[in-house]
A and B are shown apart, each in its own frame.
Chain A
Amino acid sequence: MNALKLQILDLLKEDARRDPELLATLLGVTEAEVKKAIAELEEEHVIVKYATVVNWSKVEDDKVTALIEVQITPERGRGFEGIAERIYLFPQVKSVYLMSGAYDLLVEVEGKNLKEVASFVSDKLSPIDSVLSTKTHFILKKYKQDGIIFEEHEDDHRLIVSP
């Protein structure tokens, strides 16, 4: 990928609301170049979506999130793809990763409360034929997600004027 696209991705990852005009100024290129690069990145599905990182613990009706280790038997010819799809299509499932090591899929599930997540595991996930075992870990607190620290603890304590 060319350098400009990588720079644009870096800047948008920090703040997706930066418009092409600002990006063009920061990077010393024309707005048209930025727009073209972004259009291509969207087209190629490199930029998948412009989402907001939310600290749900600050929202009153808090959500519960669990990370579930899932061991599965791969299917002949399709490996893990089919079974992963069956899992990630559930809207409760926020992310799915294929892992190396002691288990196969790491599934992030979100629910209104403990019970809701637990019943998702027992009613939907475990009964799938090729699922051999599940291990559910509830998240107690999120400190950092996608490189963003949730509780910013480093204020700017610089003097107002210094030589």
Chain B
Amino acid sequence: MIIKEEEQNKSMSSYLAPAVRAIPPSGIRKFFDLAVGNKDIITLGVGEPDFSTPWHVREACVYSLERGKTKYTSNAGIPELREAIGQYLNDEFHVEYDPGNEVLVTVGGSEAIDLALRALIAPGDEILIPEPCYITYSPITAIGGGIPVGIETFAKDQFKLKAESLKAAITPRSKVLILCYPSNPTGGIMTREDWLPIAKIVEENDLIVISDEIYAELTYDQKHVSFASLPGMKDRTILVSGFSKAFAMTGWRMGYACGHPEIIAAMLKIHQYTVMCAPTMGQVAALEALTNGMEEKDRMVESYNQRRRLVVKSFREIGLECHEPQGAFYAFPSIQSTGLTSQEFATRLLMEAKVAAVPGDVFGLGGEGFLRCSYATSVAQLNEAFDRIGNFLVKLRNS
């Protein structure tokens, strides 16, 4: 009976598309399964704000439901929201988009990334991906028949993308460069000075850029510089962002993509056949967030900034090297001094000290030897977590 079931399973997987079968399961998922069911865990493993969506946003959504706003919207999203997104990007990051044909509202930034890659990739195209990075780019590239090409970035450079590394990775088949700054998982950012040589290489090699700027609002010592705002880069860039991080709206799945009308039109074509439109109630909420949510957003960012200082100081105090993250809400300390791999360290930390964090190797090249720790958690929890990590390290060093 058991054998038969196995045969059955084997035969079912043979139906799967080879590209999908070839994708390894997410390393985060593996770690999640390990953590589930464990009690009294303090988690630094979460990639989302600890704030609930501001009440005025939730309330606006409830009100719209009461008024029966439950129908489809136009494929690209309600005009008022596209208008507001255009205005917001211009005000905050000095990049101008026509809400009529250059803005597309999507189901989270994730859909925007998927659409962009599907719209661009022809089989065999090489997609350049600075790593360590958010885990989605490489699998989506592979599903589309593209070839993900990782570019390693380093702690000594604050995980910035360096011109020489980019140059070295480029081949005649290179087509797209995916950027994610401020960075999940490293907290690294790129300044205007950091960007300019990258923009030059993009131009010289005729690359298209997908710039995932979902953490744009979460920078601390300086304002975020959008890649699309650099001279000559707007038409070459698909700017992807969303409401999840800045407005604490992860579960709403509200994102957007902005770019050249011809590229947005291609993405819209896929979008209309797959999801039709982003959820109407989510769009209403997103509009409310952009219209009346800036003050609340600033308050949340200031709170992350306070906790960022606490976390960096705490890591250094317990003897783990930690570069100072300038963006997002992650610290990325090195655990190399312990002699353990990221997986070993994270697993033992979870089992022995009841603190969950994400092993750096799941984020690709350059992630091994590091640990992603989200500081979107209360000060009290952070302090308790550091007591536990500190004790764990003492135990580790004495064993």
Contacts of A156 in B (CB 8 A): 50
Interface string of B109-141 (1 = CB under 8 A from A): 000000000000000000000000011100000
Once A22-B310, A25-B309 are accepted as A-B contacts, the answer to whether A160 and B46 lie under 8 Å apart by CB is yes
The reply to whether the CB of A161 lies closer than 8 angstroms to some CB of chain B is: yes
The reply to whether the CB of A77 lies closer than 8 angstroms to some CB of chain B is: no
Determine, out of B2-10, B28-36, B170-178, B229-237, the stretch whose residues face the partner at the interface: B28-36
Once A26-B306, A28-B309 are accepted as A-B contacts, the answer to whether A160 and B26 lie under 8 Å apart by CB is no
Contact A25 B310 (CB under 8 A): yes
Once A25-B313, A26-B306, A27-B306 are accepted as A-B contacts, the answer to whether A160 and B52 lie under 8 Å apart by CB is no
A22 CA / B36 CA spacing, docked (Å)? 32
Contact B309 A161 (CB under 8 A): no
Chain B 1-52 residues near chain A, CB threshold 8 A: 26, 28, 31-32, 35-36, 38, 41, 43, 45-48, 50, 52
The reply to whether the CB of B224 lies closer than 8 angstroms to some CB of chain A is: no
Rounded to whole Å, the gap between the CB of A12 and the closest CB of chain B is 13
Rounded to whole Å, the gap between the CB of A155 and the closest CB of chain B is 10
Contact A160 B35 (CB under 8 A): yes
Contact A159 B306 (CB under 8 A): no
- Most chain B CB within 10 A, of A18, A161, A162, A163, is at A161
The reply to whether the CB of B65 lies closer than 8 angstroms to some CB of chain A is: no
Contact A161 B28 (CB under 8 A): yes
Number of interface residues of A (CB under 8 A): 16
Contact A161 B379 (CB under 8 A): no
The reply to whether the CB of B356 lies closer than 8 angstroms to some CB of chain A is: yes
Contact B307 A26 (CB under 8 A): yes
The reply to whether the CB of B358 lies closer than 8 angstroms to some CB of chain A is: yes
Contact A26 B309 (CB under 8 A): yes
Interface string of A92-121 (1 = CB under 8 A from B): 000000000000000000000000000000
The reply to whether the CB of A158 lies closer than 8 angstroms to some CB of chain B is: yes
Contact A163 B135 (CB under 8 A): yes
Contacts of B45 in A (CB 8 A): 160-162
Number of interface residues of B (CB under 8 A): 28
A73 CA / B135 CA spacing, docked (Å)? 71
Contacts of A25 in B (CB 8 A): 309-310, 313
Contact A163 B309 (CB under 8 A): no
Contact of A161 among B35, B50, B310, B313 (CB under 8 A): B35
Interface string of A15-48 (1 = CB under 8 A from B): 1001000100111100000000000000000000
The reply to whether the CB of A154 lies closer than 8 angstroms to some CB of chain B is: yes
Contacts of A15 in B (CB 8 A): 379
Rounded to whole Å, the gap between the CB of B226 and the closest CB of chain A is 23
Contacts of A27 in B (CB 8 A): 306, 309
Once A26-B310, A27-B306 are accepted as A-B contacts, the answer to whether A163 and B136 lie under 8 Å apart by CB is yes
Q: Which residue of the partner chain B has the closest CB to A161?
A: B45
Contact A160 B36 (CB under 8 A): yes
Once A22-B310, A25-B313, A154-B52 are accepted as A-B contacts, the answer to whether A162 and B47 lie under 8 Å apart by CB is yes
Interface string of A147-161 (1 = CB under 8 A from B): 000000010101111
Contacts of B356 in A (CB 8 A): 160-161
Contacts of B35 in A (CB 8 A): 160-161
Contact B26 A163 (CB under 8 A): yes
Contacts of B383 in A (CB 8 A): 22
Contact B135 A160 (CB under 8 A): no
Contact A163 B310 (CB under 8 A): no
Q: List 22 A-B contacts (CB under 8 A).
A: A15-B379, A26-B310, A27-B306, A28-B309, A156-B50, A158-B43, A158-B46, A158-B48, A158-B50, A159-B32, A160-B35, A160-B46, A161-B35, A161-B43, A161-B45, A161-B46, A161-B358, A162-B28, A162-B32, A163-B26, A163-B134, A163-B136
